[in-house]
Amino acid sequence: MENVIIIGTGPAGYTAAIYAARAELKPVILTGDQPGGQLTTTSEVENFPGFPDGIMGPELMNKMQAQAERFGTRVEFGIMVTNVEKNDDGTFAVHTKPVFADAVTVMQTKTVIVASGATARYLGIEGEEQYIGGRGLTACAVCDGAFFKGVPVAVIGGGDSACEEADFLTKYASKVYLVHRRDELRASKIMAKRVMEHPKIEMVWNSQLAGYKEAENGNINAIVLDNTVDGSTSDLPVEGVFMAIGHTPNTSFLSTDLMDLDPSGYAIPVPGKTATKTPGIFVAGDVADTVYRQGITAAGLGCAAALEAEKFLSGH
Ligand code: NAP
């Protein structure tokens, strides 16, 4: 019987682990199929406090892992959670399986911290992965916008995220193309007005991203667009592509008997807490965050979840 099982190894999970380990709870953390989480897919992180010269995303996550292990966290690599069940005595059975095998193992625990994150959606175009993380394709303007100073970029999507990213990128890029598959934005009126009136943003309506073109160094230097109305195809020269077609929260292993989920699948904690409707289950980070989605906010919530879990355990 474990004290606390932490699901997910992004900033929320590792911060929860550091706090739980220092409280001598001997936490176990399960990495899933992406050890280190979303920050491992970005290049340099310039906005995480404490690193005035920036730090590479994977290196930051390695440091968090080392810090968690230093205090006695057990890291289980390549372990996916397939289900969480509540036992009759209020403890939990966490069903797990290795990423590359089918053998199911059931772990018992007194508390669970769900920090399984969200996955930015990409289009799934063939060869797309090779451009993610430093070759021009990203899903986070706040993280990577500063690498595109003085060059044209494209944002893909028509929602609030796309508008927010486009607006943010005008600080750096020479020009921002907002590429949307329809001729009307889904975003709120105020966001839509802001981008459409911005002198550095050009709307590219009725266009679906269909492919990437690369320079000799392998970085993106243009995108291929299919016109969704007349079927024509054209190239748009850009050096950065910011995908803003939504995120998918990683909650498929959670039953709504234990965790409230919003219509998009995001976990809903008790207001102002990381506790959930099930005593003993806590939630932290992007899996419950549709607003901030930053490493540092996730880390802060991971800390809160561990403190709440510790208090819960000492009260039981
Ligand atoms: P979203 O509202 O779901 O918008 C996703 C956009 O991507 C839509 O315009 C959609 O096009 C497009 N899209 C989806 N799949 C696509 C595909 N396969 N190919 C091309 N385009 C595709 O997602 P979001 O913008 O991330 O926002 C999520 C939630 O967070 C929303 O409730 C939003 O209001 C909220 N949010 C709020 C703020 C804020 O208030 N400051 C900021 C960010 C997000 P269609 O329109 O054609 O479906």
Model confidence over 2-53: pLDDT tens digits?
Answer: 999 999 999 999 999 999 999 999 999 999 988 999 888 777 788 899 999 9
Q: Looking at ligand 1, which residue's alpha carbon is closest to its atom 5?
A: 245
User: CB within 8 A of 159, min separation 6: which ones?
Assistant: 185, 186, 187, 244, 245, 246
> Can 143 be counted among the known catalytic residues?
yes
- Give the C-alpha separation, 88 to 92, whole Å: 9
Q: Which of 77, 37, 80 is nearest to 61 (CA)?
A: 37
The confidence score (pLDDT) of residue 264 equals 92
Q: Separation of 162 CA from ligand 1 center, angstroms?
A: 7
pTM: 0.79
> Can 140 be counted among the known catalytic residues?
yes
> Can 303 be counted among the known catalytic residues?
no
The C-alpha torsion from 99 through 100 and 103 to 107, rounded to 10°, is -20
Taking only the tens place, the pLDDT of each residue in 126-147 is: 889 999 978 999 998 988 899 9
The confidence score (pLDDT) of residue 267 equals 98
- Give the C-alpha separation, 301 to 1, whole Å: 25
Question: Nearest 5°: phi and psi at 233?
Answer: -125, 140
> Which one from 53, 88, 89, 140 is the annotated catalytic residue?
140
Ligand 1 lining (C-beta closer than 6 Å):
123, 157-162, 164, 181-182, 186, 208, 244-246, 290
Q: Separation of 185 CA from ligand 1 center, angstroms?
A: 9
The confidence score (pLDDT) of residue 142 equals 83
Neighbours of 147 (CB within 10 A): 18
Residues of the chain with pLDDT under 50: none
The confidence score (pLDDT) of residue 102 equals 86
Can you read off the two tokens belonging to residue 93?
Answer: 């059975």
- Give the C-alpha separation, 221 to 301, whole Å: 38
The confidence score (pLDDT) of residue 45 equals 85
- Give the C-alpha separation, 193 to 203, whole Å: 12
- Give the C-alpha separation, 1 to 199, whole Å: 60
**Sign of the dihedral through C-alpha 285, 123, 167, 47:** positive
The confidence score (pLDDT) of residue 97 equals 95
The confidence score (pLDDT) of residue 189 equals 95
The confidence score (pLDDT) of residue 49 equals 97
